[in-house]
């Protein structure tokens, strides 16, 4: 396989990741609406730490540095919180 064909595969994976992030953001909006209806707080540190712990363990099993996964997912989680705050602040 050539470098160019490998790069095309990476491009396809990048597009899949973007699609998944879009889906995740939509679900975060839905959660934000539910939290608004139920007067729940946006921030759930215990849930976030549980998510990160599980992801870091899976990363270790796959040979991916857990600190890299933690950094990436802290950004993703922060974005989800922001989306929920925006939804909760609407209306």
We report the CATH number of the domain holding residue 7 as: 1.20.59.10
39-76: pLDDT as tens digits: 999 999 999 999 999 999 999 999 999 999 999 999 99
Q: What total number of domains does the chain contain?
A: 1
Domain that holds residue 76: 3-89
pLDDT per residue over 72-90, tens digit each?
999 999 999 999 999 977 6
One DSSP character per residue, the chain reads --HHHHHHHHHHHHHHHHHHHHHHHHHHHHHHHHHHHTT--S--HHHHHHHHHHHHHHHHHHT--HHHHHHHHHHHHHHHHHHHHHHHH--
Does 91 score more than 60 pLDDT?
A: no
pTM above 0.95, yes or no: no
């Amino acid at each position: 396989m050539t470098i160019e064909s490998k790069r095309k595969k990476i491009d396809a994976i990048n597009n899949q990741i973007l699609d998944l992030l879009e889906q995740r953001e939509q679900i975060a909006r839905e959660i934000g609406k539910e939290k608004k209806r139920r007067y729940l707080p946006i921030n759930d540190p215990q849930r976030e730490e549980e998510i990160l712990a599980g992801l870091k363990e899976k990363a270790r099993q796959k040979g991916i540095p857990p600190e890299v996964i933690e950094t990436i997912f802290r950004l993703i989680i922060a974005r989800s919180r922001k989306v929920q705050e925006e939804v909760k602040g609407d209306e």
